[in-house]
């Protein structure tokens, strides 16, 4: 073979199975973390180094380390306002490692790594950055990924709810919500129109912490979150009237009563410490940014 023929053979990609196709599609979609980042320096980035770094990151989540963070900081400056091309190559390699490790961690937490060919994911990522990700049309790819995520979420949600039904001190509601009482409250219960004050930990179906008001307060300061029950996910609106003030609970929320189609019908679990409640407007105040759980 001539050198040109060798390169052509290397670039030949065949997507026979669903695993092949979804792997390529997931990699291509992951490239949007870069192409849709809004970085004004996109045209100046070294995409070859990003692709190389991505290949490392999808196999080693620890590859994005303190050294990598420092490299990116040197490229963009301490406030992200600079662009020092003297650090372009190592920083771009680390950008790739970052995106790759996010990819690996995210699908690992969903229990989907056995359904993904990492090499084909890397190829999809590479083709998307090079604007030649034409093996699967963009609209078909997007639908494929959405369906894949939804199927995973429904499977993981069913498994979580099945385990929750076997827990002690649980109440299984007609709407599918499962409430586990960790510590019974002794106060009253709110209506669906009331304000509520509560600390919470939001967890995935795999038990990973997604968000924590306890952590937020420790890092940023502030008070216990307060919100009106008409402005939260349906699962919270329907759960809190069944809780007692002063209690500690776990709420297992099916995907339809969480964020629905917006989040691929992902079921969620909340640990809640119910502090107080009152009529609408007595506790909740407008906030510049609401945590995901709220």
Residue 183 included in any domain = yes
Residues 130 and 243 in one domain: no
CATH number for the domain that contains residue 182: 3.10.50.40
* pLDDT value for 285: 76
Residues 171 and 66 in one domain: no
One pLDDT digit (tens) per residue for the chain, 294 residues: 344 444 444 568 899 999 999 999 999 999 999 999 999 999 999 999 999 999 999 999 899 899 999 999 999 998 888 999 999 999 999 999 999 999 999 999 899 999 999 999 999 999 999 999 889 999 999 999 999 999 999 999 999 999 999 999 999 999 999 999 999 999 999 999 999 999 999 999 999 999 999 999 888 888 899 999 999 999 999 999 999 999 999 999 999 999 999 999 999 999 999 999 999 999 997 654 444 443
The first and second tokens of residue 289, run together, are: 């940014």
Residue 236 included in any domain = yes
Residues 128 and 175 in one domain: no
* pLDDT value for 188: 96
Residues 168 and 132 in one domain: no
- Rounded (5°) CA angle 191-289-261: 70
Residues 169 and 128 in one domain: no
Residue 95 included in any domain = yes
* pLDDT value for 11: 66
Model confidence, pTM: 0.83
Residues 33 and 79 in one domain: yes
Residue 167 included in any domain = yes
Residues 18 and 132 in one domain: yes
Residues 60 and 102 in one domain: yes
Count: domains in the chain = 2
The first and second tokens of residue 23, run together, are: 């792997």
Residues 125 and 45 in one domain: yes
Residue 184 included in any domain = yes
Residue 117 included in any domain = yes
* pLDDT value for 286: 60
Residue 185 included in any domain = yes
Print the domain residue range for 100: 13-136
């Amino acid at each position: 073979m001539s050198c040109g023929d060798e390169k052509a053979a290397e670039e030949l990609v065949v997507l026979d199975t669903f695993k092949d196709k979804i792997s390529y599609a997931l990699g291509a979609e992951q490239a949007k973390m870069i192409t849709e980042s809004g970085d004004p320096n996109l045209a100046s980035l070294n995409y070859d180094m990003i692709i190389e770094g991505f290949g490392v990151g999808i196999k080693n989540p620890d590859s994005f380390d303190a050294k990598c963070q420092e490299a990116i900081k040197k490229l963009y400056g301490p406030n992200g306002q600079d662009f020092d091309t003297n650090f372009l190559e190592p920083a771009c390699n680390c950008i790739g490692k970052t995106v790759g490790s996010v990819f690996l961690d995210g699908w690992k937490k969903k229990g989907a790594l056995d359904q993904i060919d990492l090499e084909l994911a890397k190829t999809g990522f590479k083709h998307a950055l090079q604007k030649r990700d034409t093996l699967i049309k963009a609209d078909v790819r997007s639908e494929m990924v959405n369906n894949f995520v939804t199927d995973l979420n429904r499977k993981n949600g069913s498994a979580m709810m099945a385990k929750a039904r076997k827990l002690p001190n649980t109440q299984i509601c007609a709407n599918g919500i499962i409430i586990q009482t960790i510590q019974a409250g002794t106060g009253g219960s709110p209506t669906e129109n009331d304000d509520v004050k509560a600390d919470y930990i939001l967890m995935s179906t795999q038990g990973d912490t997604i968000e924590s008001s306890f952590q937020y307060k420790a890092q940023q300061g502030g008070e216990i979150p307060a919100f009106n029950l008409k402005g939260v996910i349906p699962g919270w609106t329907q759960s809190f009237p069944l809780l007692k003030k002063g209690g500690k609970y776990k709420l297992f929320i099916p995907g339809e009563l969480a964020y629905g189609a917006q989040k691929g019908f992902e079921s969620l679990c909340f640990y809640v410490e119910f502090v107080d409640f009152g009529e609408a407007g007595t506790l909740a105040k407008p906030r510049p940014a609401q945590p995901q759980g709220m």
